[in-house]
Amino acid sequence: MEGSRVKNIIVIAACLVLGVVFVVASFMVLNFKKEDHTNIEEYSSNLTKLIESQDVRSGLKIFPTEVNKDKVKEFKYYSEDDLFVGSYLYYLVVDYDKDEFNAEVERIKSVNQPFRDIVKNIFFAKTGFKYPAYITIWDGNGTYEYALVDEENTTIAYVLNQLFDWKDTDIAEEYLPKDYSVPSTSKDTGKDGYSMYYVYDEFGTGYRFDELH
């Protein structure tokens, strides 16, 4: 009799566990969202949406707020968002004329993120890519954000990759990192897993750029 009762309890417990797994799996499927955009007309609206999203680990300051669509070489926006985590790719390549190129490089150089009592800055990398790079995020919680400057062709490539495997991003190979160690820089940042958009207190708690003003 006792053995039969234990068996029944085990069966009931197993059914409950399976029920919970089914409910969670169903909820994840129902809440899975995927977006895929290549229409440059949607560039600015999608950029604003990402900046305002609490799931995105960036303020996307390295990207221009507006672009001349006739000079855009490539544009891609992918996202996959489930119950627990969101993956995002924002990728833009622009062929500028010389004056526009110089002005845009100066804008990129000045990108920073103020917090209450400090300002975090973009950093410049001479190696690690085919072209010189300005980096705001380097492996910060699985996220990368940078701009590559091709002076010869007056072209700039802008990349945000949050949690996508690089081989799945469909980014032109010349704009991918050569490796994923911290690039050497014009200044010794001494930072591994750097993000311009986060600061950490003495207890290791991280604060996003819009949480501290």
Nearest to 50 by CA among 74, 70, 78: 78
Cα–Cα distance for residue pair 209/57, rounded to 1 Å: 9
pLDDT tens-digit readout, 55-66: 899 999 999 999
179 within a domain of the structure (yes/no):
yes
213 within a domain of the structure (yes/no):
no
4 and 84 within one domain:
no
Nearest to 136 by CA among 156, 165, 158: 158
pLDDT at 176: 95
9 and 56 within one domain:
no
- Whether 46 shows a pLDDT value over 80: the answer reads yes
pLDDT at 7: 57
Residue with tokens 């680990």, as numbered in its chain: 57
- Whether 6 shows a pLDDT value over 70: the answer reads no
71 and 16 within one domain:
no
104 and 17 within one domain:
no
Residue with tokens 């311009």, as numbered in its chain: 196
Residue 122 in contact with residue 108, Cβ under 8 Å?
yes
Instruction: Give the percent of the chain with pLDDT over 90.
Output: 53
Model-level pTM? 0.79
pLDDT at 150: 98
pLDDT band at 31 (very low <50, low <70, confident <90, very high): very low
- State how many domains the chain has: 2
143 and 126 within one domain:
yes
Nearest to 38 by CA among 70, 78, 10: 78
pLDDT tens-digit readout, 126-169: 888 999 999 999 988 889 999 999 999 999 999 999 999 998 88
Instruction: Give the percent of the chain with pLDDT over 70.
Output: 75
Average pLDDT over every residue of 29-56: 80
- Whether 13 shows a pLDDT value over 70: the answer reads no
Amino acid at residue number 170 = D
Nearest to 143 by CA among 212, 53, 68, 65: 53
- Whether 192 shows a pLDDT value over 60: the answer reads no
Q: Which tokens go with 190?
A: 């001494």
76 and 12 within one domain:
no
Cα–Cα distance for residue pair 101/134, rounded to 1 Å: 14
- Range with the poorest average pLDDT among 15-24, 85-94, 177-186: 15-24
User: Which residue range(s) make up the domain with 41?
Assistant: 32-208
**Cα dist. 58→47, 120, 162, 195 in Å?**
11, 13, 9, 8
